[in-house]
Structure 1
Amino acid sequence: MLRNEVWASALEVDGDLEGTFVAIDKETPTATDRQIEVDIPRCHQYDELLSSSEGHRKFKRILKAWVVSHPQYVYWQGLDSLSAPFLYLNFNNEALAYACLSAFIPKYLHNFFLKDNSAVIQEYLAKFSHLIAFHDPALANHLSSISFVPELFAIPWFLTMFSHVFPLHKIFHLWDKLLLGDASFPLFVGLAVLLQLRDTLLTSGFNECILLFSDLPEIDIERCVTDSVDLFCITPRSVTYRQHESPIGKFSSDSLRNFGHVLQSECCPRISGAELMDLLDLEHVKFSRSKALVVDIRNLEEYPFQFNRGAIPESVSIPFSTITADEEGKAVLPPAKLIQLQQCSKGKIVVVVSARGMNSAEVGVLLIFVFLFNQMSLKSYCLL
Structure 2
Amino acid sequence: MSSSPPLIAKAQQFNKILNQSKYSGSRIPEDIEDGLKKLRRLILVNGIPSEADPSIRPRIWKLLLRVRDLSADTYLRYVSRGPCPVREKIRNDTFRTLATDRLFKEKVREDMLVRLLDAFVWRNHDLGESLRPAFTYVQGMNVLAAPFLYTMPSELEAFYCFATFIEVTCPSYVQPTLEGVHRGLKLLDRCLKIVDPELFSHLRSKNLSAEIYAFPSVLTLCACTPPLQQVLQLWDFLLAFGVHLNVLCVIAQLLLIRDDVMASKSPMKLLRTFPDLDAQAVIGIAVTLVRDLPQDLYNELVKHPYEMRA
Q: What is the TM-score with the length of structure 1 in the denominator? A: 0.58
* Aligned equivalent of 1:188: 248
Q: CA offset at residue 53 of structure 1?
A: 9.3
CA distance in 1, matches of 2:140, 2:230: 17
Residue 166 of structure 2 corresponds to residue 105 of structure 1: yes
Residue 138 of structure 2 corresponds to residue 84 of structure 1: no
**Which structure has the highest helix share of the two?**
2
Given that 1:174 and 1:221 are in contact with CA atoms closer than 8 Å, whether structure 2 keeps it comes out as yes
Residue 271 of structure 2 corresponds to residue 213 of structure 1: yes
Q: What is the RMSD computed on CA atoms of the aligned residues?
A: 2.5
- Sort the Cα spacing of 1:7 and 1:75 in 2 relative to 1 into closer, same or farther, 3 A: same
Q: What is the TM-score with the length of structure 2 in the denominator? A: 0.71
Given that 2:120 and 2:159 are in contact with CA atoms closer than 8 Å, whether structure 1 keeps it comes out as yes
Aligned residues with identical type, % of pairs = 25
CA distance in 1, matches of 2:290, 2:119: 34
Q: Larger relative CO (CA 8 A, sep 6+): 1 or 2?
A: 2
* Aligned equivalent of 1:116: 177
Q: CA offset at residue 247 of structure 1?
A: 5.0
Q: CA offset at residue 201 of structure 1?
A: 1.5
Counterpart mapping for 1:228-247 below 5 A: 228-242=286-300, 244-246=304-306
* Aligned equivalent of 1:130: 190
SS of structure 1 residue aligned to 2:139: coil
CA distance in 1, matches of 2:174, 2:276: 29
Gaps of 5+ in 2: 1-53, 126-133
Gaps of 5+ in 1: 249-259, 261-384
Counterpart mapping for 1:1-384 below 5 A: 1=54, 2-25=56-79, 27-48=81-102, 50-51=104-105, 55-71=109-125, 72-90=134-152, 92-117=153-178, 119-205=179-265, 208-242=266-300, 244-246=304-306
- Sort the Cα spacing of 1:128 and 1:37 in 2 relative to 1 into closer, same or farther, 3 A: same
**Which structure has the highest strand share of the two?**
1
Higher-Rg member (1/2): 1
Q: CA offset at residue 57 of structure 1?
A: 1.8
CA distance in 1, matches of 2:268, 2:108: 37
Q: How far does the alpha carbon of each residue in 1:259-303 deviate from its partner, in whole angstroms, 9 at most, with x for none?
A: x9xxxxxxxxxxxxxxxxxxxxxxxxxxxxxxxxxxxxxxxxxxx
- Sort the Cα spacing of 1:51 and 1:219 in 2 relative to 1 into closer, same or farther, 3 A: closer
